[in-house]
Chain A
Amino acid sequence: MNIMVTGSGGQLGSELRAAAARYPRWNFRFFSHAELDVTDAHDVRQAMRQCSCDVLVNCAAFTSVDRAEADPGLPFRVNRDGAGVLAGSARELDALLVHFSTYYVFDGMSPKPFREQDEPRPLGVYGLSKRQGEELIGKIGPSHMIIRTGWLYSPFGQNFVKTMHRLGRERDVVDVVSDRVGSPTCAEDLAEAVLCILGKADLQRSYAETYHYVNEGACSWYDLAAAVMSLAGLPCRVRPIESSGFSVSGPRPWYSVLNNNAVKREWELVISHWQASLGRTLERMTVP
């Protein structure tokens, strides 16, 4: 199986690269943003042909929620148009497209975990651009799996866990919002799940699936920050605050727990509790 990964410099791409070593029978080709622009249809098609691509895993995305509000051009280009380009090429070359999306497609106005069939209603530019990318993939119709995830972290790139880990070493106290609830997701677990699904998938079949993948459990950002400090043994105090006292420019959903039952059942996955995976990731981060 020939697997091509776009946006390989990001968190998920980096974890897929690390996980690829455990799948020696598959051929992986990784393309960072600098190596392949997913909005360039010509380059994408050419790269896919060169790889004899069976599976295209798209980890490329514009993920800065705040910057998306200020400058909507780029998020729509990458998250919507890029998804369309990849879907078109995947369809043309009969490849399976695995695409990642986000809880930001929902409005966060639910009291219980979002299911795949719940009505999307993005609150801002980032969520809308991701939702339109999902819709475009569905419309163009290659064999595809869209995996929505939440609160992603890893030892790579920029993420909340890394920020807290740094602040925990620099400060005596940090204030973190306690009124937004969601599911932290370890990018390593998600990468492993994707490869596990690919190992079981029938590439002769045409898929049109949307799944929710998050680690098990729910917490607030404050709980996540407190867990980082306690698992990393940092003496920094974490104080819970309300969102109103913390200004952010991009609209964020209040409640973003995703129901991961469908992906677990269909692919027989066992998903770790967020805290177990967080502990593992923090250990990887501290090993020199």
Chain B
Amino acid sequence: MQKRNVLVTGCKGQLGSELQALSVCSGDLELFFYDLPELDITRSDHIERFCRTLGVHAIVNCAAYTAVDRAETDIDAAFLVNRQGAAVLASCAKEHGIMLLHISTDYVFNGESCVPYRETDPASPLGVYGLSKWEGEECIRQIAPSHIIIRTSWLYSVYGSNFVKTMLRLGSERESLHVVFDQVGTPTCAADLAGAIKAILERYDSSSVYRETYHYSNEGVCSWYDFALAVIQARGLPCRVLPVETSEYPTTARRPHFSVLNKGKIKKEWELVIPHWKASLERTIGRMTEGSGRQGNG
């Protein structure tokens, strides 16, 4: 049986790390993981070399510039990675006739809706990060003949830095935490998203052409305040979590008030069952505890 080789870019990030943590190969699928400095997605010579030497059948792009506040002033870097990088990958995918699976974000929307966003809703980013991701999506749609774009929200994992890890740290340092209650959305466990990506890679037909955008997050809805409280409670920290308004907690970049995504399309087309955000959060925090236990023993 011929192996289907998949190149994963940005493998040191949260999602790339979770993809690596899943079984590396299953059936005829084999994943190859790379990140900076060997593989820079903004360098077409890098991508070319990997595609040729590995005989790649698909690319999963987990590389992104994700610092939402920093992007407001570090505009060029955000666009270089999120737009230019996406365009370079799309051109390579076109040249080699392979599928590009790309990750995007709820930040492509302005968050002024009151109904979970569908893939067909018009994009209207509020800031540099959202705009750079949206333009990256558009490059892929224009250039890559076969592509799957998955938008996700509030991503966290045992890897990298993310809201859950920040809350766990602050929760053990402080007596109380103030967290915004007027922004609602859905946390996404990067391990669950990695599982969904793996399911798609296992099932997609490499002779078909895909031109799809999907939304993926865990099930359910909460505010950042609810999310923080659940983190603190899952670890049993004695820290109080208090709700505040966005206006009381100013940030450089504007953030969407409503970023709930409608996941009906990806669930139906790929027959996915998505866990509730709280179940996945508790599982992830359990993994973090195990990890730190091992470190302590070692």
Interface residues of A (CB under 8 A from B): 108-113, 178-179, 181, 216-220, 222-223, 226, 240, 242, 254-255, 257, 259, 261, 273
Q: Interface centre among B113, B184, B260, by most A CB within 10 Å?
A: B184
Q: Which residues of A contact B182 (CB under 8 A)?
A: 112-113, 257, 259
- Please measure, in the bound complex, the distance between the C-alpha atom of A257 and the C-alpha atom of B111, giving whole angstroms: 15
- Please measure, in the bound complex, the distance between the C-alpha atom of A111 and the C-alpha atom of B116, giving whole angstroms: 10
- Please measure, in the bound complex, the distance between the C-alpha atom of A108 and the C-alpha atom of B258, giving whole angstroms: 13
- Are B220 and A178 in contact, with the CB atoms below 8 A? yes
Q: Interface centre among B114, B115, B220, by most A CB within 10 Å?
A: B114
Q: If the complex has contacts A179-B115, A216-B225, A217-B229, are A112 and B258 also in contact, measured as CB distance less than 8 A?
A: yes
B181 within 8 A of A: yes
Q: Chain A contact residues: over half helix, strand or loop, or mixed?
A: loop
- Are A110 and B220 in contact, with the CB atoms below 8 A? no
Q: Which residues of B contact A242 (CB under 8 A)?
A: 262, 264
- Are B222 and A111 in contact, with the CB atoms below 8 A? no
Q: Which residues of B contact A226 (CB under 8 A)?
A: 220, 276, 278
Question: Closest CB-CB distance, A182 to chain B, in whole Å?
Answer: 9
- Please measure, in the bound complex, the distance between the C-alpha atom of A104 and the C-alpha atom of B229, giving whole angstroms: 28
B112 within 8 A of A: yes
- Please measure, in the bound complex, the distance between the C-alpha atom of A242 and the C-alpha atom of B221, giving whole angstroms: 13
Which listed residue, A111, A179, A222, touches B262 by the CB 8 Å rule?
A179
Q: Which residues of A contact B223 (CB under 8 A)?
A: 217-218
Interface residues of B (CB under 8 A from A): 111-116, 181-184, 219-223, 225-226, 229, 243, 245-246, 256-258, 260, 262, 264, 276, 278
Identity of the chain B residue whose Cβ is nearest the Cβ of A220 in the assembled complex = B221
Identity of the chain A residue whose Cβ is nearest the Cβ of B222 in the assembled complex = A219
CB pairs A–B below 8 angstroms (12 shown): A109-B114, A111-B113, A113-B181, A178-B116, A181-B221, A216-B225, A217-B243, A218-B184, A218-B221, A219-B220, A222-B221, A261-B245
Which listed residue, B111, B112, B184, B264, touches A181 by the CB 8 Å rule?
B184
Which listed residue, A217, A218, A254, A259, touches B115 by the CB 8 Å rule?
A254
Q: Which residues of A contact B115 (CB under 8 A)?
A: 179, 254-255
- Please measure, in the bound complex, the distance between the C-alpha atom of A223 and the C-alpha atom of B257, giving whole angstroms: 19
Q: Which residues of B contact A259 (CB under 8 A)?
A: 182, 245
Identity of the chain A residue whose Cβ is nearest the Cβ of B258 in the assembled complex = A111
Question: Closest CB-CB distance, B79 to chain A, in whole Å?
Answer: 27
Q: If the complex has contacts A111-B111, A111-B113, A111-B257, are A218 and B262 also in contact, measured as CB distance less than 8 A?
A: no
Q: Which residues of A contact B113 (CB under 8 A)?
A: 111
Identity of the chain B residue whose Cβ is nearest the Cβ of A110 in the assembled complex = B114
- Are B257 and A112 in contact, with the CB atoms below 8 A? yes
- Please measure, in the bound complex, the distance between the C-alpha atom of A108 and the C-alpha atom of B111, giving whole angstroms: 14
- Are B222 and A217 in contact, with the CB atoms below 8 A? yes
Q: If the complex has contacts A112-B258, A181-B260, A242-B264, are A255 and B222 also in contact, measured as CB distance less than 8 A?
A: no
Question: Closest CB-CB distance, B177 to chain A, in whole Å?
Answer: 13
Q: Which residues of A contact B111 (CB under 8 A)?
A: 111
- Please measure, in the bound complex, the distance between the C-alpha atom of A255 and the C-alpha atom of B259, giving whole angstroms: 12
- Are B114 and A223 in contact, with the CB atoms below 8 A? no
- Please measure, in the bound complex, the distance between the C-alpha atom of A79 and the C-alpha atom of B183, giving whole angstroms: 32
Question: Closest CB-CB distance, B185 to chain A, in whole Å?
Answer: 10
Which listed residue, B181, B246, B256, B276, touches A218 by the CB 8 Å rule?
B181
- Please measure, in the bound complex, the distance between the C-alpha atom of A240 and the C-alpha atom of B246, giving whole angstroms: 29
Extra 11 A-B pairs, beta carbons < 8 Å, given A179-B115, A179-B116: A111-B112, A111-B257, A113-B182, A178-B116, A178-B220, A179-B262, A181-B221, A217-B222, A222-B221, A226-B220, A242-B264
